[in-house]
Chains A and B, each alone.
Chain A
Amino acid sequence: GENVEQHPSTLSVQEGDSAVIKCTYSDSASNYFPWYKQELGKRPQLIIDIRSNVGEKKDQRIAVTLNKTAKHFSLHITETQPEDSAVYFCAASYSGYSTLTFGKGTMLLVSP
């Protein structure tokens, strides 16, 4: 089955800095890669996703890049703000009605 590795497990940045979280996947058949944000005490919620036919996708201060050859994808957050502090999970699946495999998560701490 699919295996998703996520790094780093913890990331501390100053407000205004950029943050990058990286994930690798094992199954070359995976073609859908979402990122979820989980604020303290809340449920995970989708913030951005990318399909394998796209190399990069942006939504305001967040972007995701995908390298299919190397089987890795990354989340980039620019101009970080304290409200970006949360746990971020990457995931991979074969699109369609298939299961999502999650990475172990990255706790992002943004200090004012």
Chain B
Amino acid sequence: EAQVTQNPRYLITVTGKKLTVTCSQNMNHEYMSWYRQDPGLGLRQIYYSMNVEVTDKGDVPEGYKVSRKEKRNFPLILESPSPNQTSLYFCASKGLTEAFFGQGTRLTVV
């Protein structure tokens, strides 16, 4: 079954404690992306990757890092989380057309 898997689904953490949200896809897609979803603001792109070792900033990259060492994995790293990064995060992978989203990670930073 074609899928994008994110972990964890829910995460509560404290300000400044580094965390990683994992994302893995099994469709051999070259393109992967991270979005954050906040009420009234829609899906805002954080970072994207067009291929292994190629990453680019999206619209809201500040405070985030990504890496793409393998085609299937695209982790999102928050080196020093702050409360304004409390949000719902989605990873997505895309072939020529349709984007497939992970289940989402609801992050709360206190």
Contact = CB atoms under 8 A, between A and B. Distances in A.
Interface stretch (A41-49, A59-67, A78-86): A41-49
A34 B50 contact: no
A34 B43 CA distance: 14
Given A43-B104, A45-B101, A49-B98, A99 B45 contact: yes
A80 B58 CA distance: 35
Residue in B42, B97, B103 with the greatest tally of chain A CB atoms within 10 Å = B42
Nearest to B4: A43
B11 interface: no
B97 A43 contact: no
B25 to A, nearest CB: 13
A49 B97 contact: yes
Interface residues of A, number: 23
A12 interface: no
B42 A95 contact: no
A9 B42 CA distance: 10
A97 B43 contact: no
A91 B35 CA distance: 13
Interface stretch (A13-21, A69-77, A101-109): A101-109
Interface of B: 30-31, 33, 35, 40-43, 45, 48, 50, 58, 90, 92, 94-99, 101-104
12 contacts: A34-B99, A44-B43, A44-B90, A46-B98, A89-B43, A91-B99, A99-B31, A99-B33, A99-B45, A100-B99, A104-B42, A105-B42
